């Protein structure tokens, strides 16, 4: 899409508030759901780094529902006008990646929609060099788009990262008007902003409540683990964390769209579940099941397993590379 004058600059904002003749609201009660696992004390075999069988899986021991835990607040976040917020999970030391995002699709987003924005979510490192500390401090001061939370940022702590992000969005920020949609992405996802805005601000994705959508996966077998195995694969699950033959349906954690009400319920129900290290399964399957929220399939997301030669990139708004 080409914008020839300033009147076309925020075209989606002009119409998105009126596209829903009536919000499609489904009021559902939460449902019972439990994660089954074996006795941790009798388990022998490979373990999850940072989450051995002896570690407590009570999420309230790591995240407080009430007290704040952020180290850096994204001062550029507009709490008055933001209707659509992109929440980008990033590693602390991914300075170059964040710069590329700001200089490419991040710049386009701000140009095309005054009511859309983005923030980066990072944790902390166990050790940070003085050089990187100075770079981070400068980045925070110059851009004001970083939310830093007080937890060790690692692959196996991504569930903590997601829960803390939900807490910030639904508890910490005092919104003048609650945003209608959030898009959670990883920083290795490229966004086609014109198509993204056109898709998100459509009745199919904008009007349902509660809403949770993305690329639906699941119903496949976790990496098989024998008691004598020494190496745990990236998606492997020891029985002390989960004992079931198949993963349930879940959304790819690289990109998914959700409403404020959904985020609020996911945050609440996360505390009623034992910690599970695969964040996309924990958030969009286990917690979503307890919230009794159905997953919606979104066609505009290019998942990393998709054969790239069969895809017209002009029809995809999110590309996981």
Residue 27 above 60 pLDDT?
no
The answer for residues whose C-beta is within 8 angstroms of residue 45's C-beta and 6 or more apart is 225, 226, 227, 228, 229, 238, 239
Residue 4 above 60 pLDDT?
no
Q: What is the pLDDT of residue 232?
A: 64
Q: What is the pLDDT of residue 272?
A: 96
Query: Higher-confidence residue: 232 or 303?
Result: 303
Residue 158 above 80 pLDDT?
yes
**CA dist., res. 314 & res. 321, Å (int):** 15
Nearest C-alpha neighbor of 296 from the set 221, 210, 202: 210
Handedness of CA 177, 183, 186, 189 (dihedral sign): negative
Q: Interior CA angle at 102 toward 78 and 310, to 5°?
A: 115
Mean pLDDT across 148-161? 95
Residue 227 above 50 pLDDT?
no
Please return the burial class of 108, using the count of CB atoms within 10 Å of its CB with bins 0-12, 13-18 and 19+.
Answer: middle
In terms of CATH, what superfamily is 12-320?
Spore Coat Polysaccharide Biosynthesis Protein SpsA; Chain A (3.90.550.10)
Handedness of CA 124, 129, 133, 139 (dihedral sign): negative
Residue 15 above 60 pLDDT?
no
Residue 183 has φ and ψ, to the nearest 5°, of -120, 115
Residue 229 above 80 pLDDT?
no
Q: Which helix (H) or strand (E) holds 101?
A: helix 95-103
* Tens-digit pLDDT profile for residues 159-212: 999 999 999 999 999 999 999 999 999 999 999 999 999 999 999 999 988 999
* Tens-digit pLDDT profile for residues 46-94: 899 999 999 999 999 999 998 998 999 999 999 999 999 999 999 999 9
Q: What is the pLDDT of residue 17?
A: 53
Q: What is the pLDDT of residue 306?
A: 55
Residue 23 above 90 pLDDT?
no
* Tens-digit pLDDT profile for residues 81-123: 999 999 999 999 999 999 999 999 999 999 999 999 999 999 9
Q: What is the pLDDT of residue 7?
A: 41
Please return the burial class of 40, using the count of CB atoms within 10 Å of its CB with bins 0-12, 13-18 and 19+.
Answer: middle
Q: What is the pLDDT of residue 60?
A: 97
Query: Higher-confidence residue: 243 or 258?
Result: 258
Mean pLDDT across 236-262? 89
Q: Interior CA angle at 69 toward 167 and 266, to 5°?
A: 15
Nearest C-alpha neighbor of 185 from the set 68, 69, 84, 108: 84
Q: How many CA atoms lie within 13 A of 289 on its CB side?
A: 16
At 44, the pLDDT band (50, 70, 90 cuts) reads: confident
Q: What is the pLDDT of residue 6?
A: 36
Candidate from 26-35, 262-271, 309-318 with smallest mean pLDDT? 26-35
Mean pLDDT across 279-303? 93
Whole-number average pLDDT of the chain: 86
Q: Where are the domains of the chain?
A: 12-320
Handedness of CA 283, 89, 317, 169 (dihedral sign): positive
């Amino acid at each position: 899409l080409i914008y020839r004058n300033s009147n076309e600059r925020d075209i989606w904002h002009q119409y998105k508030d009126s596209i829903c003749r009536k919000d499609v609201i489904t009021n559902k009660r939460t449902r019972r759901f439990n994660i089954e696992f074996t006795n941790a004390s009798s388990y022998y075999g490979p373990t999850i780094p940072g989450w051995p069988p002896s570690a407590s899986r009570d999420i309230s021991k790591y995240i407080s529902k009430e007290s704040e835990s952020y180290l850096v607040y994204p001062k550029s976040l507009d709490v008055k006008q933001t209707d659509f917020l992109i929440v980008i999970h990033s590693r602390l030391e991914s300075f170059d990646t964040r710069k590329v995002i700001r200089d490419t699709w991040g710049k386009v987003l701000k140009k095309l929609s005054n009511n859309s924005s983005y923030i980066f979510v990072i944790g902390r490192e166990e050790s940070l060099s003085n050089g990187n500390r100075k770079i981070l401090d400068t980045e925070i001061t110059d851009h004001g788009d970083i939310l830093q939370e007080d937890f060790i940022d690692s692959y196996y702590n991504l569930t903590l990262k997601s829960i803390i992000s939900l807490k910030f969005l639904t508890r910490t920020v005092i919104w003048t008007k609650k945003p209608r949609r959030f898009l959670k992405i990883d920083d290795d996802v490229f966004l086609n902003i014109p198509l993204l805005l056109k898709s998100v601000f459509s009745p199919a994705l904008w009007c349902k409540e509660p809403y949770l959508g993305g690329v639906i996966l699941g119903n496949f077998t976790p990496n098989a683990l024998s008691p004598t195995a020494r190496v745990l694969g990236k998606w492997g699950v020891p029985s002390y964390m989960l004992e079931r033959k198949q993963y349930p349906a879940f959304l790819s954690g690289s990109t998914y769209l959700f409403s404020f009400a959904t985020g609020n319920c996911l945050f609440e129900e996360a505390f009623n579940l034992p910690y599970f290290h695969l964040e996309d399964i924990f958030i969009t399957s286990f917690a979503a099941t307890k919230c009794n929220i159905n997953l919606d399939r979104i066609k505009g997301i290019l998942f990393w397993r998709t054969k790239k030669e069969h895809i017209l990139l002009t029809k995809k708004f999110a590309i996981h590379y």
